[in-house]
Amino acid sequence: MIQNERIRSLNGKTTGSGSYVLYWMQASQRVQHNHALEFAIQQANERSAPLIVYFGLTDRYPEANKRHYRFMLDGLQELQTLLRGRKIQMVIRHESPEIGAVRLSKKAFLVVCDRGYLKIQRSWRIYVAQHVDCPCIQVESDAVVPVEEASSREEYSAATLRPKLRRLLPEYLVNVEEHDPKVSSLSFGFDSLNISDIEGTFAKLDIDRSVKRTDSFHGGASEAERLLDEFLNKKLDLYPQLRNDPNADCLSGMSPYLHFGQISPLYIALKTLETGGPGAEAYLDELIVRRELSINFVFYNQLYDSLDGLPGWAKRGLLLHEGEPREYNYSLDELERAGTHDPYWNAAQREMLLTGKMHGYMRMYWGKKIIEWSATPEEAFHRCLYLNNKYELDGRDPNGFAGVAWCFGKHDRPWPSRHIFGNVRYMSADGVKRKFDAGKYAKRYQ
């Protein structure tokens, strides 16, 4: 089922006179539970026309590097094969996505696109909608509840968004029915980038190569589904008690795959509900409420990537204490190479450097300490974003921006005023040690 609220015309144009439907697949890089793909297939089948899927491989995506591209290309390889199995040709071109989508639309009678929430993603879709000669229809597939349906404004916290989502979830927690195209598009002779040789593909890209791939996570829908099955069968029941213990390895590991759209949040939610058990409610709150609170943040707050996007109370308190002396004031280089006095912070930074992901509880501590060890709140904010976006596979997305902003008070409440932090929540090494065996974690990544 594809709810009408997921579907939106971006330009109001009438159907063109082309020979195929073009699905510009940029955010939802998957076959399964992809509302945009299924809508495009339905539209093509109604006219007995073929469907072309297009992906634009830009080497100018902000802050992306070889680690991110490798993970994404692993997934695209698998995706192209899966689409071919459904008689759908996937055209991949080395170009800015919005430019390629407009070029391929010249012979399309309809352009379908999926949805992105960040400023660059939204600007791409606006450009395409304005420059194509046929209708451009956006279908939202990476949120369980469409963002405007969940709320018409920026929400203060999870507590304010949660009841709104809960009222709507019965309507949206519904399987996406899959259809096969009536007409194959495999015979079309489009030029497409050959990504079968990933290292050869890298040779053609002008990207940052300073951050190497990680062996801890491999991209692709099949790997995402394998990890999800492992989590649901072996870890879900323990999730509420052990999710904040990085030694327990009790998290799902889904965030990199959600970042690249290689797995659907709706699919994860339905599989979790099917499994049930004591951990399901806690995990679904993170997957749906917390994740969609992040989407709400970046969608309604265009200052999500700066200190100015914080609540007034948080920013005022931080700036009021800006000039206070710091016991430690590390350079960005010292932070980047995990060269601080704090073994727990260093372990968290090394975990991110090595694996491309940091445990969620440690990421909160990590961000709080950067505030404490930087000359100004603004410097601290930019350092957090720089390091998070550079090394995390799930950086540079709504969860990443909201996670950094949380360390500075976003989606939290005012706390008693203190040195450096003002009314923003403080976290200490002693608190970490009380939460779990911090020494064991430090040894793991020393």
Domains of the chain: 4-142 (3.40.50.620), 144-176+221-300 (1.25.40.80), 307-444 (1.10.579.10)
Tokens 């109370």 appear where?
Answer: 313
Tokens 């727990």 appear where?
Answer: 344
136-139 and 7-9 beta bridge pairing:
antiparallel
Amino acid at 210: S
Q: For residue 446, what pLDDT is reported?
A: 85
List Cβ neighbours of 60 (8 Å cut-off, separation of 6 or more): 96
Q: Give the pLDDT band (50/70/90) at residue 1.
A: confident
318-351: pLDDT as tens digits: 999 999 999 999 999 999 999 999 999 999 999 9
Identify the sign of the CA torsion 269, 282, 296, 60. negative
φ and ψ at residue 77, rounded to 5 degrees: -55, -50
Other residues' Cβ atoms within 10 Å of the Cβ of residue 164: 18
> What would you measure as the largest C-alpha separation in the chain, in angstroms?
70
% of the chain exceeding 70 in pLDDT = 100
Tokens 């599989």 appear where?
Answer: 271
If residue 98 lies in a helix (H) or strand (E), which one and from where to where? helix 97-104
As given in the structure block, the two tokens for residue 8 are 């939106």
Tokens 């020979």 appear where?
Answer: 19
Q: What is the arithmetic mean of pLDDT over 53-73?
A: 97
- The closest alpha carbon to 112, from 47, 176, 179, 35, belongs to 35
Write down the H helix ranges in 247-395. 255-259, 265-275, 280-284, 291-300, 312-320, 332-336, 343-355, 360-372, 377-391
Q: Give the pLDDT band (50/70/90) at residue 107.
A: very high
Looking at the predicted structure, is the pLDDT value of residue 408 above 90? yes
Q: Give the pLDDT band (50/70/90) at residue 15.
A: confident
Q: For residue 14, what pLDDT is reported?
A: 86
As given in the structure block, the two tokens for residue 325 are 């002396």
Please state, in angstroms and as integers, the Cα–Cα distance from residue 443 to each residue in 270, 339, 349, following that order.
37, 15, 13
Q: For residue 212, what pLDDT is reported?
A: 93
List Cβ neighbours of 200 (8 Å cut-off, separation of 6 or more): 194
Q: What is the DSSP letter of 127?
A: H
Please state, in angstroms and as integers, the Cα–Cα distance from residue 268 to each residue in 35, 93, 146, 262, 334, following that order.
15, 30, 16, 11, 38
Q: For residue 177, what pLDDT is reported?
A: 95
Beta-carbon-side half-sphere exposure of residue 216 (alpha carbons within 13 Å): 18
Q: Give the pLDDT band (50/70/90) at residue 422.
A: very high
Q: Give the pLDDT band (50/70/90) at residue 141.
A: very high
Please state, in angstroms and as integers, the Cα–Cα distance from residue 92 to each residue in 20, 47, 134, 324, 371, following that order.
17, 25, 21, 52, 42
146-197: pLDDT as tens digits: 999 999 999 999 999 999 999 999 999 999 999 999 999 999 999 999 999 9
% of the chain exceeding 90 in pLDDT = 98
Residue 374, SS3? coil
Q: What is the DSSP letter of 176?
A: P
Q: What is the DSSP letter of 177?
A: P
- First-to-last C-alpha distance (Å) of the chain: 49
CB-CB contact of 335 with 348 (8 Å): no
Q: For residue 394, what pLDDT is reported?
A: 95
Residue-averaged pLDDT of the chain: 97
Q: For residue 16, what pLDDT is reported?
A: 75
Q: Rounded to whole angstroms, how far apart are CA atoms 330 and 336?
A: 10
Identify the sign of the CA torsion 399, 405, 411, 413. positive
359-406: pLDDT as tens digits: 999 999 999 999 999 999 999 999 999 999 999 999 999 999 999 999
C-alpha radius of gyration, the chain, whole number: 22
Q: Rounded to whole angstroms, how far apart are CA atoms 23 and 290?
A: 29
Q: What is the arithmetic mean of pLDDT over 65-71?
A: 98
Looking at the predicted structure, is the pLDDT value of residue 233 above 90? yes
Q: Give the pLDDT band (50/70/90) at residue 80.
A: very high
